[in-house]
C-alpha cells in the first residue's frame, strides 16, 4: 500500500534544518524544466509557518509545469505533423510508383534519418572518455541523450515510416467538421475528452497513437477518467461517447482507426434515481422567481422561458426579426433539423413589444448578453445569462441541491420542464406538446410553412397556461402520479 502523506506535510520536505517546498515534475515536462522536482527553501524549521507560506510557491511551480507541458505538447504536435507529412508521401509514392524514382525514395529515407537524429540529439550531453550505451547507435556511445528528446525522435521515425499514427493528428479537422452541426458545449466536450485521454496516456507512458488505443486500454481509461477529471460517471460517459464519435469519423480517414475501441465502453452507476434527476419548477417556485427582485432583462428572459418552453441559448440568440404578431421563430437546437414557430402567449405580448420597440430587424432581442467576442472561445453566448440566473435563483431561495451532487436539480431548463408538464396537465396531447417545444417526433412540426389552422390550435394550447399567482389567486400544486414498474 502506498505511503500516505499527512496533509500538513504535503508539498513539504525537511532539508537540513529547514523546510522546503517540493513539487514533482511530470515526465512530459522534465525535458523542458531540466529537473525531476521543483524546490524552494522556506528558511524555517516551523511546520506551521511552512504550511502558511508554501501555497504561493506551489502555485508558482504548477504554473511553470503547465507552461512546460503546453510547450512540450506543441513541440510534440509539430514533430508529429512533420512525420505525418512524410508518411503521407510514402503512401502516395506506393500508390503511384510510375511517378516516383529511386532517387526520390533515397531522398525520403535521408530526410527521415537526418531529422530523427536531429530530434533525438536535442539536449544531448557529451561525456568525454565515458562511453554511454544507447539503444541502436554504437558509434554514439559518448553521448548521453535527453530521454524525452530521444523518445520524440523515435516517435517521429515511426510515424514517418507508417508504423504509428498520431492520435490527435486529425482532431482539429474533426472539430471543424462538427462545429456547425453541434452546439458549442458538445464541441467543448470533444476537446476535453481528447485532452484527458492524452494526459492519461502520458501518465501511463503510452505513446499517443491510434494503433495503441485498444479496447482494453479504452476500458482502463474509462475507469481512470472520473478521478482524472474529477467528474461523475454520467459526465465521464459523455466524454467517452465523444471519443467514440471521433473514432467513427476517423475511420473514414485513417485505416488504423477501422475498429472502434470505444464502442460499448461506458461506466456503470450513472443512472440516477427519480429523486436525483433534474426537475421542473413547482408553481410556487415559478411565482417566487417571477415575483422577485429580478432585473428587467432577467424578468423578460424568465417570462419567455416559462411561456414558450424554449431553451436558454435559443432565447438569448433571438433577433427582433424572429418576433411576429402571433409567433416567435425559434432556431433549431439539439436534434431539431429546422427552425420552429411558438405561439405568443397573451401574457408575453407586453414583454416582446417592449423588447422590439425602436430596434431594427437584425438587432438582438437581448443585447444585455452579447455574443462571445474572444476568438476560438468554446463558451456559448448564454453562459453569462445562465450564471446571472443561477445567482438570482439562489438569492430568492429557489434551490434543490442533494448531498454529493455538484449541480442543483433545478436550473433555467426547469422552466421548459414546467411548461411541458403544465400544458400536459391541461389536456394538450403529446403530439402538440412535442411540436411546440421541438421534441423529436414524426407526426408534424410548427415550421414556418405550417398552415394557419395548425398555428391556431397551437396558440389555443399555449393559452391554457397560467402564470401562478399572477392575479393574486392562491397557488396550487397539481397532483402527479408516478407509476413505477415492478422489477422481476
Cα gap 24→125, rounded to integer Å: 23
User: Which three cell numbers, joined as nine digits, stand for 94?
Assistant: 506506393
* Contact status, residue 436 vs residue 461, Cβ threshold 8 Å: yes
Residue 374 in grid coordinates: 474572444
pLDDT tens per residue across span 23-75: 887 665 666 777 878 999 999 999 889 888 888 888 888 888 777 766 666 67
The residues of the chain scoring below 50 in pLDDT are: 1-4, 132, 135-138, 442, 481-488
User: Under the phi-then-psi rule, with left for phi > 0, alpha for psi from -120 to 50, and beta for the rest, what region is 145?
Assistant: beta
CA geometry: angle 65, 69, 74, nearest 5 deg:
150
Dihedral, 7, 11, 15, 19 alpha carbons, nearest 10: -70
What is the spatial distance between Cα 74 and Cα 14, in angstroms, rounded to a whole number? 36
Neighbours of 373 (CB within 10 A): 6
**Res 376: pLDDT:** 59
- Cβ-based neighbours of 480, under 8 Å, separated by 6 or more: 421
Closest CA to 79 of 169, 174, 190, 170: 169
Backbone angles phi, psi at 19, to 5 degrees: -85, 145
DSSP per position, 41-53:
E-----HHHHHHH
Q: Which residue has the cell 429580478?
A: 294
Provide the whole-model pTM. 0.57
How many helices and strands, by DSSP H and E, does the chain display? 16, 7
Pairing of strands 37-41, 125-126: unpaired
Q: Is 3 exposed, middle or buried (0-12, 13-18, 19+ CB in 10 A)?
A: exposed
Q: 227 CB contacts (<8 Å, ≥6 apart)?
A: none
The domains located in the chain, with CATH, are 171-271 (1.10.150), 277-373+382-462 (1.10.443.10)
Q: Give Cβ neighbours of residue 248 (< 8 Å, ≥ 6 apart).
A: 260
What's the pLDDT at 170? 83
Amino acid at each position: 500500500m502506498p505511503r500516505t502523506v499527512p496533509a500538513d506535510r504535503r508539498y513539504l520536505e525537511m532539508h537540513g534544518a529547514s523546510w522546503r517546498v517540493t513539487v514533482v515534475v511530470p515526465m512530459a515536462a522534465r525535458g523542458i524544466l531540466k529537473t525531476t522536482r521543483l524546490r524552494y527553501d522556506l528558511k524555517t524549521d516551523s511546520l506551521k509557518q511552512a504550511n502558511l507560506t508554501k501555497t504561493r510557491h506551489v502555485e508558482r511551480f504548477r504554473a511553470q509545469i503547465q507552461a512546460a507541458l503546453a510547450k512540450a505538447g506543441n513541440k510534440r504536435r509539430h514533430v508529429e505533423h512533420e512525420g505525418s507529412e512524410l508518411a503521407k508521401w510514402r503512401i502516395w509514392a506506393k500508390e503511384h510508383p510510375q511517378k516516383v524514382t529511386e532517387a526520390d525514395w533515397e531522398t525520403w529515407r535521408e530526410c527521415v534519418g537526418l531529422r530523427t537524429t536531429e530530434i533525438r540529439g536535442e539536449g544531448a550531453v557529451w561525456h568525454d572518455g565515458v562511453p554511454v550505451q544507447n539503444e541502436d547507435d554504437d558509434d554514439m556511445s559518448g553521448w548521453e541523450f535527453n530521454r524525452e528528446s530521444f523518445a520524440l525522435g523515435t516517435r517521429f521515425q515511426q510515424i514517418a515510416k507508417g508504423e504509428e499514427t498520431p492520435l490527435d493528428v486529425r482532431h482539429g479537422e474533426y472539430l471543424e467538421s462538427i462545429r456547425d452541426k453541434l452546439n458549442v458545449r458538445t464541441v467543448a466536450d470533444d476537446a476535453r475528452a481528447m485532452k484527458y485521454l492524452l494526459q492519461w496516456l502520458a501518465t501511463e507512458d503510452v505513446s499517443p497513437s491510434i494503433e495503441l488505443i485498444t479496447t482494453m486500454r479504452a476500458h482502463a481509461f474509462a475507469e481512470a477518467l472520473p478521478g482524472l477529471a474529477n467528474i461523475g460517471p454520467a459526465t465521464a460517459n459523455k466524454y467517452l461517447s465523444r471519443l467514440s464519435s471521433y473514432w467513427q469519423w476517423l475511420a473514414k480517414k485513417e485505416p488504423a482507426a477501422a475498429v472502434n475501441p470505444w464502442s460499448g465502453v461506458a461506466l456503470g452507476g450513472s443512472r440516477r434515481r427519480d429523486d436525483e434527476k433534474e426537475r421542473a419548477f413547482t408553481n410556487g417556485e415559478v411565482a417566487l422567481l417571477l415575483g422577485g427582485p429580478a432585473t428587467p432583462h432577467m424578468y423578460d428572459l424568465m417570462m419567455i422561458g416559462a411561456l414558450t418552453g424554449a431553451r436558454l441559448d435559443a432565447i438569448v440568440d433571438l433577433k427582433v426579426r424572429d418576433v411576429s404578431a402571433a409567433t416567435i421563430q425559434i432556431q433549431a437546437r439539439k436534434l431539431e433539423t429546422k427552425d420552429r414557430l411558438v405561439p405568443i402567449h397573451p401574457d408575453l405580448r407586453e414583454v416582446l413589444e417592449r423588447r422590439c420597440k425602436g430596434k431594427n430587424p437584425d438587432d438582438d432581442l437581448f443585447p444585455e448578453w452579447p455574443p462571445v467576442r474572444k476568438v476560438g472561445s468554446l463558451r456559448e453566448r448564454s453562459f453569462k445569462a445562465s450564471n446571472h440566473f443561477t445567482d438570482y435563483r439562489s438569492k430568492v431561495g429557489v434551490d434543490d441541491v442533494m448531498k454529493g451532487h455538484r449541480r442543483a436539480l433545478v436550473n433555467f431548463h426547469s422552466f421548459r420542464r414546467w411548461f411541458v408538464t403544465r400544458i400536459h396537465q391541461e389536456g394538450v396531447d403529446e403530439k402538440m406538446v412535442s411540436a411546440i417545444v421541438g421534441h423529436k417526433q414524426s407526426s408534424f412540426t410548427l415550421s414556418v410553412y405550417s398552415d394557419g389552422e395548425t398555428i391556431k390550435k397551437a396558440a389555443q394550447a399555449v393559452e391554457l397556461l397560467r402564470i401562478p399567482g399572477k392575479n393574486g389567486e392562491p397557488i396550487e400544486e397539481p397532483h402527479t402520479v408516478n407509476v413505477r414498474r415492478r422489477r422481476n
